Amino acid sequence: QVQLVESGGGSVQAGGSLRLSCTTSPRTYSNNCIGWFRQAPGKEREGVAAIDRTGSTSYAASVKGRFTISKDNTKYTVYLQMNSLKPEDTALYYCATGNGRVIGRVRECTLASVDYNNRGQGTQVTVSS
């Protein structure tokens, strides 16, 4: 059974930081891609960051330079360090796994939710101004 468990959400003031964790089983962790997504009420789901098996990363333009995705292979955990948080970062954040998409001759980890097929329950992040 695929299981992803997120933690680390909370309420912070604008400019603050949070670190989210996504812990999986070894089998789930072996997927090509693990991504972080977010969804706020009334807004489209947004891919935030993704990391592949080699550690290559990709970010949405809205978070680039503020968020960092990383992973610990010994703990089967992917992290999302979020700095300089803004009120517009308020959302339910969840992690998901997928095999990526072949673009050209390379399999890449996109930020499109359609390329991910398993997700966790999510952790709420609330940023106040």
pLDDT for the residue numbered 80: 98
Mean predicted confidence (pLDDT) in 62-76: 97
Mean pLDDT of the chain: 95
Q: Work out the pLDDT band at 2, boundaries 50, 70, 90.
A: low
Own/partner pairs, 57-62, CB within 8 angstroms, 24+ separation:
58/108, 58/109, 58/110, 58/111, 59/111, 60/111, 62/88
124 pLDDT more than 90: yes
Assign 111 to helix, strand or coil: coil
What percentage of the chain has pLDDT greater than the value 70? Answer: 98
CB 34 within 8 A of CB 95: yes
Looking up tokens 């789901």, which residue turns up?
45
Number of neighbours of residue 103 by Cβ within 10 angstroms: 9
Number of neighbours of residue 29 by Cβ within 10 angstroms: 20
pLDDT for the residue numbered 63: 98
